[in-house]
Structure 1
Amino acid sequence: MAQLTRKDLTGFLARQGILVAFALFMIGFALANQRFLDVDNVFGVIRSSAILGIMALGVTFVVIGGNLDLSVGSMMSFSTIVVLDLHDKLGPTLAIPAMFALTMGLGAFIGFLVGYLKLNSLIVTLGMLSAIHGLTLTWSGGKNMDIADKEGTWFSVFGQGSVAGIPVPILMFAGLAVVLSLLLTKTPFGRKVYAVGGNGTAATFSGVPRARVVFQTYLISSFCVAMAGLMQASRSLGSQNTVGQGMELEVLAAVILGGASLLGGSGTIFKTVIGVLILGFIQNGLLLVGLEFYVQYVVTWVIIILAVWLDIAAKRGRLWSPIA
């Protein structure tokens, strides 16, 4: 049997260190509180993580394609407010497709700026974060939104319903993850996304329509945001107009934790799901052991730094910089 070398161990930690840390977190939280691994608690964590998870699935396509999307938090606020407002004006049957069209219109605009005009995705989506937030406040008149007849609508099924004892949000999250995983791994489009993110210039010379692929990744991301907004609105049948504010950080953290490289060209939907669950269970565990909710923000920051470090370490084959 080959002897495990220090280089092998370093490489393993660079690739899988975050999973080792997650396992240690899970063991520690389970020992600290017996409720942590209770079935109801596990289902509750996955259910509460579904909105973040659905958004992260879409952003995975954007990141693999070599770009960023920091507008998803504000866009989720927009989609939530719009569908709640249109619910009372048009009814849920028309409000849902109208909200999807408007949200994906924003995604198409971002995709056009980044894909066809080749503007920097960080700058574009950072600017759109503020612009969409302003659009949301304008639409709502600066007020929160509530459905008038909460008892007489079937709209609540997306956030509150269940099928065979399994909450609908979990089913929606799992179903979308399966569909997008097949799209990414089993179709020519998926291979083009990896090619564009891995080496955009080479992909272009190989005949891959780089601008169109980038444009389509932002459409997918905005579709996922619209689904998340639908679920958020359905969960409470009302919402603040800043409900998605700050979620872009958590979404990006989940995607990076799942192994998607900020440099583009790598990542999977399955690992993004794992990244989402890592964040969800760590936050739940912190609350169960008695730490205040705001500690989550510090822990999330630490996890992001750790994930980026491990991502760069995996690329260069060592945990520490070769330049001392």
Structure 2
Amino acid sequence: MGALSKFEIGGVLARQGILIAFVLFMIAFTIANQRFLDPDNILGVIRSSAILGVMALGVTFVVISGNLDLSVGSMMSFSTIVVLDLHDKIGPALAIPAMFIMTLALGALIGFLVGYLKLNSLIVTLGMLSAIHGLTLTYSGGKNMDIADKAGTWFSVFGQGSILGIPVPILIFALLAAVLGTMLAKTPFGRKVYAVGGNGVAATFSGIRRARVVFMCYLLSSFCVATAGLIQASRSLGSQNTVGQGLELEVLAAVILGGASLMGGSGTIFKTVIGVLILGFIQNGLLLVGLQFYAQYVVTWIIIILAVWLDIAAKRGRLWSPIA
């Protein structure tokens, strides 16, 4: 009975360990700094996490389908630079759809390579990370972008506006989470995504067009990246051409923290949102207790390792491997 109890505890820790750790972090940060649970601070954390969160929503589909997308950081830089450049050339009303089309084209290319040509998603998106970064630098001529008339444009509403006291970035994040969460959980397409990620061969034999599902997942991911780029450009009305550099690891960390398996076939949009908030509040708490911002990179790495460990532990039902 004692051994059974130990295994049960191990199983609970494997499945819910990251949430337990998050609660402990929240308690520790609250004790260390009373401002941590201040409503303004909480709203600020969620607002600053919205861009990462929007990107993570799309990557959730990709990961559940059994693939990876390491190109989202450089793709976000591209979309941000493009919409800022086109804003002054053709106006925001045309710049926004033009940017979405160009970003979706990149997502379609990745989806074609991974879905239809069946190339390894890690290799393809790692290569696209560099290729899109080069494309961004070429497009911008190596220069940063700024909107000329920052005071006279309605474009700022996406990143700086608020409705009923709620920042627009949070509303966009929440709306996308609701729509994509429903799509994943309640529609035939969502069930196909789980089937392809769980067992691609079985899904193909059951009549599911695996290539089309994977293609659509990357298209959804690029749409979310374009939305994140729109928020980023609107928030600052100017940007460096490397604004999204490194975000791909944070996005992946948030998705895995939310319970999506790197093996594919499991995960939810709701848990991804939780994973995004975990990262946001931990980073905010570290700043409030006096750690320098670069310490966040080390903590993020530790969180990724912990999340992968718990993911593997959940599959085998115990925290430690039975083989020494």
TM-score class, shorter-chain normalisation, is: over 0.9
Equivalent residue number for residue 131 of structure 1 = 131
Residues 153-192 of structure 1 aligned to structure 2 (within 5 Å) = 153-192=153-192
User: How many residues in Structure 1 have an aligned counterpart in Structure 2?
Assistant: 323
Alignment correspondent of 1:31: 31
In 2, the alpha carbon distance for the partners of 1:4 and 1:247 equals: 42
Q: Distance in 1 between matches of 2:88 and 2:186?
A: 41
Deviation at 1:322, TM superposition (A): 1.4
Which whole-Å CA distance do the structure 2 matches of 1:181 and 1:57 have between them?
A: 9
Q: Residue 69 of structure 2 corresponds to which residue in structure 1? A: 69
Q: CA deviation at 1:6?
A: 1.0
- 2:76 and 2:236 mapped to 1: Cα distance? 15
Q: Secondary structure at the match of 2:70?
A: coil
Asked if residue 114 in structure 1 is aligned to residue 118 in structure 2, the reply is no
TM-score by length of 1: 0.99
Any gaps of 5 or more consecutive residues in structure 1? Answer: none
**2: distance between equivalents of 1:308 and 1:190?**
24
**Structure 1 residue aligned with 2:6:** 6
Return the alpha-carbon distance in structure 2 between the equivalents of residues 60 and 128 of structure 1.
19
Partner residue of 2:46? 46
For 1:318 and 1:275, locate their aligned partners in 2 and report how far apart those are by CA, in whole Å.
Answer: 22
| Aligned-partner SS, 2:107 | helix
Residue deviations 1:281-324, cap 9 Å, x none?
00000000000000000000000000000000000111111111
Query: Post-superposition shift, 1:221?
Result: 0.1
Q: Deviations over 1:198-222 (max 9, x none)?
A: 0000000000000000000000000
Provide, for residues 81-140 of structure 1, a one-character-per-residue CA deviation record: whole Å limited to 9, x for no partner: 000000000100000000000000000000000000000000000000000000000000
Match of 1:231 in 2: 231
Match of 2:57 in 1: 57
The runs of at least 4 aligned residues of structure 1 exceeding 2 Å deviation read none
Report Cα offsets for 1:32-85 as digits up to 9, x if no partner: 000000000000000000000000000000000000000000000000000000
Match of 1:258 in 2: 258
Aligned identity (percent) is 85
How far apart, CA to CA, are the structure 2 residues paired with 1:278 and 1:318?
23
Structure 2: 5+ residue stretches without partners: none
Partner of 1:201: 201
Aligned-partner Cα distance in 1 for 2:230–2:158: 7
Residues 300 and 310 of structure 1: is their aligned pair in 2 closer, same or farther, counting only changes over 3 Å?
Answer: same
Deviation of 1:4 (Å): 7.8
Distance in 1 (CA, whole Å) between partners of 2:118 and 2:88 is 40
Letter in 2 for 1:103: T
TM-score by length of 2: 0.99
Q: Distance in 1 between matches of 2:19 and 2:323?
A: 27
Per-residue deviation at 1:5?
A: 1.1
Aligned to 2:80: 80
